[in-house]
């Protein structure tokens, strides 16, 4: 079938039922199984997504993070990953760019709020 020629790594993974001891990508333990299940439900899938689909998605996410990390290491300060590099890499994708900006802004606001709260608490 055409879809199986897409990426041999996935298929070895599936044949082994996710326990792959001798397939390239299956060696790693499943890192995000629980969180990905909730995420898939949130994004529109069934309440109980198939384990194989969750595995495929986990491999894709790990590959995505790996690619982004490698790219970020090669631009800006070499060998280090910095936020500016990530923002630069994501600049063409409006959704991801907006999300990163929102997250970083929210983080700053929360930090300020916590600091103000702690100082108020310290006084009383």
Partner 1 sequence: MADPARVKPIAVVSEAPAERPKPGEGSRDAPGSSSKVSELTTVQTTAKEQGKVRSAEDDAAGEEEGSSSLHPPPAKKLKVEHDKKKEKRHKVDEDEIQKMQVLVSSFSEEQLNRYEMYRRAAFPKAAIKRLIQSITGSSVSQNVVIAMSGIAKVFAGEIVEEALDVCEKWGDTPPLQPKHMREAVRRLKSREQIPNTKHKKILFH
Residues near partner 1 (CB under 8 A) are 3, 6, 10, 14, 31-32, 35-36, 38-46, 48-50, 52-53, 56-57, 60-62, 64-71, 73, 79-83, 86-87, 90, 93, 95-96, 99-100, 103-104, 106-107, 109-111, 113-114, 117
Smallest separation, CB 24 to partner 1 (Å): 13
In the bound state with partner 1, the residue whose beta carbon lies nearer, of 24 and 117, is: 117
Q: Counting runs of H as helices and runs of E as strands, what totals does the chain give?
A: 5, 0
- SS3 (DSSP) at 30: coil
Distance CA(119)–CA(91), nearest Å, equals 37
> Do residues 55 and 18 touch, judged by C-beta distance below 8 A?
yes
Smallest separation, CB 21 to partner 1 (Å): 20
Residue 50 sits at φ, ψ, to 5 deg, of -65, 145
In the bound state with partner 1, the residue whose beta carbon lies nearer, of 21 and 48, is: 48
């Amino acid at each position: 079938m055409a879809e199986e020629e897409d990426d041999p790594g996935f298929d070895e993974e599936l044949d082994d039922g996710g326990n792959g001891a001798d397939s390239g990508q299956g060696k790693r333990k499943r890192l995000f199984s629980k969180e990905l299940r909730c995420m898939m439900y949130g994004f529109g899938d069934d309440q109980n997504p198939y384990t194989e689909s969750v595995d495929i998605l986990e491999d894709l996410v790990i590959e995505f993070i790996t690619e982004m990390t490698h790219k970020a290491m090669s631009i800006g300060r070499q060998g280090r990953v910095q936020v500016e590099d990530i923002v630069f890499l994501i600049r063409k994708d409006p959704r991801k760019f907006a999300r990163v900006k929102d997250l970083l802004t929210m983080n700053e606001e929360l930090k300020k709020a916590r600091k103000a709260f702690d100082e108020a608490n310290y006084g009383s």
